[in-house]
């Protein structure tokens, strides 16, 4: 792995664990196994490196979610696959975590890729739900945009509940609850 990649990866991990303020240049360098000169040779400073890390974290989230949401199956099956995928629930969402960091939220540059990624996820879920609605998979009363927002809120809220309780069971319960609310909309002649 190249030095810039090691620095970005170290910053991603530290932002997830400690937040922006807790991610010092020294901690980044130690985690990456890179010297101060290398860091400043490749990046103008901590804000520049943090932006590269946030952009990569956002791209990775899109890729992971996209694999499941764009995979085979009905709309319900693809949304279920996204909700039920294996996650490190007690660590929380690396993108969602950034929304709770006051320094990230205060920076237009750092907040923009986070907002765009969450917007992309809501938009992609809306499209899938609309596909299911158009195919007769869901009852006509379903509002794709509102349900997509509920899916994102359930995942992010599930992380918070799991971290607060110290158990992934809270996340799992939130996901199962949402799926049970969606399931009755699937006509009985289809398998979910």
**Band of the pLDDT at 77, cuts 50, 70, 90?**
very high
Q: Residue 184 pLDDT > 80, yes or no? A: no
Question: Which region among 15-29, 108-122, 145-159 has the lowest average model confidence (pLDDT)?
Answer: 15-29
Residue 151's CB is within 10 A of a number of other CB atoms, namely 22
Q: How far apart are CA 8 and CA 156, in angstroms?
A: 24
pLDDT on residue 185: 60
Question: Which domains does the chain carry?
Answer: 55-185 (1.10.357.10)
pLDDT on residue 118: 96
**Band of the pLDDT at 191, cuts 50, 70, 90?**
low
Q: Residue 192 pLDDT > 50, yes or no? A: no
Checking 94-101 for CB contacts under 8 A at 24+ apart, the result is 94/12, 94/15, 94/16, 94/57, 94/60, 94/61, 95/57, 95/58, 95/61, 96/155, 96/156, 96/159, 97/15, 97/16, 97/19, 98/15, 98/54, 98/57, 100/19, 101/15, 101/19, 101/20, 101/21
Q: SS3 for 81-110, per residue?
A: HHHHCCCCHHHCCHHHHHHCCHHHHHCHHH
pLDDT on residue 183: 78
């Amino acid at each position: 792995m190249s030095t810039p990649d090691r620095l970005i990866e170290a910053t991603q991990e530290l932002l997830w664990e400690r937040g922006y303020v807790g991610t010092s240049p020294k901690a980044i360098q130690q985690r990456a196994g890179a010297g101060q000169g290398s860091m400043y040779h490749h990046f103008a400073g901590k804000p520049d490196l943090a932006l590269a890390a946030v952009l990569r974290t956002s791209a990775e989230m899109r890729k992971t979610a996209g694999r499941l949401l764009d995979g085979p199956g009905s709309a319900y099956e693809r949304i279920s696959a996204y909700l039920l995928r294996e996650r490190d629930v007690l660590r929380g969402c690396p993108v969602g975590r950034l929304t709770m960091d006051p320094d990230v939220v205060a920076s237009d540059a750092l907040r923009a890729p986070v907002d765009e990624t969450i917007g992309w996820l809501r938009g992609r879920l809306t499209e899938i739900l609309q596909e299911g609605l158009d195919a007769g998979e869901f009852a006509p009363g379903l509002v794709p945009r509102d349900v997509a927002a509920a899916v994102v809120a359930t995942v992010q809220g599930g992380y918070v509940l799991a971290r607060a309780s110290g158990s992934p069971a809270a996340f799992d319960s939130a996901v199962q609850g949402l799926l049970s609310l969606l399931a009755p909309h699937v006509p009985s002649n289809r398998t979910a």
